[in-house]
Amino acid sequence: MDYSYICPRMKIEFYKYQGTGNDFVMIDNRQETFNKDNTEFIAQLCDRQFGIGADGLILLENHPKVDFKMVYYNADGNQSSMCGNGGRCITAFANYLGIIKDKATFEAIDGLHHAMIENDMVKLQMQDVISVEKHENHLFLNTGSPHHVQMDSNLELLDIKSVGSRIRYGAPYFKEGSNVNFVKKLTEESFFVRTYERGVEDETLSCGTGVTAVALAMNYIGETEKNLITLHTQGGQLQVDFEKNGEGYKDIWLIGPAIQVFKGAI
Whether residue 174 is contained in a domain is answered as: yes
Those residues of the chain that have pLDDT short of 50 are: 4-5
Instruction: Please indicate, yes or no, if residue 166 is contained in any of the structural domains.
Output: yes
Q: What's the farthest any 2 CA atoms get from each other in the chain? A: 55
Residues 207 and 107 in one domain: no
pLDDT at 120: 85
Separation between Cα atoms, residue 57 and residue 73, nearest integer Å: 5
Looking at the structure, do residues 112 and 138 belong to the same domain, yes or no?
no
Residue 123 covered by a domain = no
Taking the CA atoms of the chain, what radius of gyration do you get in angstroms?
Answer: 18
pLDDT of 238: 98
Size of the chain in residues: 266
Give the SS3 label for residue 5.
helix
Q: What is the pLDDT of residue 5?
A: 45
Residues tagged active-site? 83, 207
Q: pLDDT of 48-58, one tens digit each? A: 999 999 999 99
Structurally, the chain folds into a number of domains equal to 2
Per-residue pLDDT at 1: 56
pLDDT at 45: 97
State the Cα angle at 181 between 175 and 183, rounded to 5°: 160
Q: Judge whether 122 lies within some domain.
A: no
pTM: 0.94
Neighbour tally for 157: CB within 10 Å: 6
Let me know if residue 176 belongs to a domain.
yes
Q: Is residue 96 part of a domain?
A: yes
In a domain? residue 148: yes
Same domain, yes or no, for 138 and 110?
Answer: no
Residue 139: beta bridge partners? 134, 149
pLDDT digits (tens, 9 = 90+) for 72-125: 999 999 999 999 999 999 999 999 999 999 999 999 999 999 999 998 899 999
Is the distance from CB of 94 to CB of 67 less than 8 angstroms?
A: yes
Whether the CB-CB separation of 256 and 239 falls below 8 Å is answered with yes
Task: Name the DSSP class of 53.
Answer: -
Residues 166 and 248 placed together within one structural domain of the fold = yes
Q: Which domain holds residue 152?
A: 133-255
Same domain, 163 and 84: no
Residue 198 lies in a domain: yes
Same domain, residue pair 14 and 101:
yes
Question: Could you tell me the CATH number of the domain that includes residue 218?
Answer: 3.10.310.10
Query: Backbone phi, then psi, for 11, in 5-degree steps?
Result: -90, 130
CB 231 within 8 A of CB 203: no
